[in-house]
Structure 1
Amino acid sequence: MYTPSIIIGFLTLSPLVVAHGKIAVVTGNLGGNGTALGIKGAVVADTGSNSKTELDTTVFDIGSNNCGQTEAAGRNKAESGVTKSMALSGSTLPQISTDNASISGTFHIVTSDGAGPLTAMVDTTGKGDFSNAVKAVVTTQIPGKKGNIRKSKQTRWERAMRSIGLMKRASNINEDYPFSVDIPAGTTCTGTVAGQSNVCMVKVVNPSNAGPFGGCVAVQQSTGTNATASVRRNLKPMKLSV
């Protein structure tokens, strides 16, 4: 059985994880795909210190009107962020229609307070300024309550830390969950970002007190009634775990 003194001794040798969750990949209802601003293409560690696990996790200041920041790259900016997202995911942003528009994607919960429920909003200027954003509806929700989710099975070590109050921070989850968002009716995307026109920025965020966490994704509103074959592509989830 672990005693508090033994546990505290171990903690000096073992870095604790800090909660986070992030948007891995998104597609629009007319095709295309993209990643959230700040997402890295290389595999990011899912355990360890912040410097290893939170490299591409977007953290928002509560009440902020921007796209947050990551450990690796600092403030997420629309122009450079969309350029990097297109380099990672391809030149076709997630494509949405003018009516009945929606996006769907994968939210990666790394630790126990990087969970749901999610909320979403749309910046029609595409600049990542959400001061005048319109609220969107999350139609497929990820699990969680107030940003937290409990791991289904815990090790003896985790139970021991929880018994002395040290598991309040987070435990590893490292799971992917689908989510989807309906874009509000009447939305007109007016932004020009990274050489792309008719762009909106969609912000998806969880309510975690340790964050909030989530991300901003640029989407492009199609002026046609149907997506072409070149726009439609299969969604291929990004592997983030090791």
Structure 2
Amino acid sequence: MVPSSKLSLTRPRQKLIHLYHKPLLSHVDLLILFYTVISGVGGTLTAIDNLGQMGISLGYSPRSISTFVSLVSIWNYLGRVMAGLVSELLLKKYKMPRPLMLTIILLVACIGHLLVAFHTPGGLYVASVIIGFCFGAQWSVVFTTISEIFGLKYYSTLYNFGSVASPIGLYILNVTVTGHLYDKEARKQLAALGLVRKAGQALNCTGVHCFRLSFIIIAAVTLSGALVSIILVLRTRKFYKSDIYKKFQDETKVEEKELAFARH
């Protein structure tokens, strides 16, 4: 039989832990986040991975292509910092659910993808800034959201679970969509010139049509991720309206009392 003094310590802690933290993997919130990362991070990673080839296809100089890479790196860092800072301020001041920041980021990323699809002179510079910023911002918000909704007990597992969605999204959107459509357009251009591709010859595509359909699809997938993330916003709005930091502080205090009791 458990002593009543020990029960008084364990019950509050159990209540706090299960206040919102739900079972892993079976929780729909985790699946929503997983799909959001596949669509959002997968799309921005596809753009970053093809940045050099896009620059060549659209007629940019090697110096400009190097600038695109630099812009992505710089704004990737700024996205990580700014998204975390802004979402924290909005959460504290307006009780705005953090997943709503993720929704906004994905909608902004759609603009970057459409700038690639419907290219205008110099548009790739702006697209590099937007895509780099959104790529970094997503990681900052996603992992913070995971820690808040599911707690820190299984955070390392959840961190890796969230991370694995990135290569899955990259494979789907980069290899099966972008790569396939790029090669298809390159073959069309070869056929139009009356040329036949030799064995082992690399396919090269020139013009805005090389990546247009691919990035329209990527923008649509990213938009679907934004719409799905709204479900998470609605499911967690009550949680974020409460004092989530007080809950974590109370949980820590109860755990400290348990440790002190165990020592005696």
TM-score by length of 2: 0.27
Larger Rg: 2
Q: Which has the higher contact order (CA 8 A, sep 6+)?
A: 2
Of Structure 1 and Structure 2, which has the larger fraction of its residues in strand?
A: 1
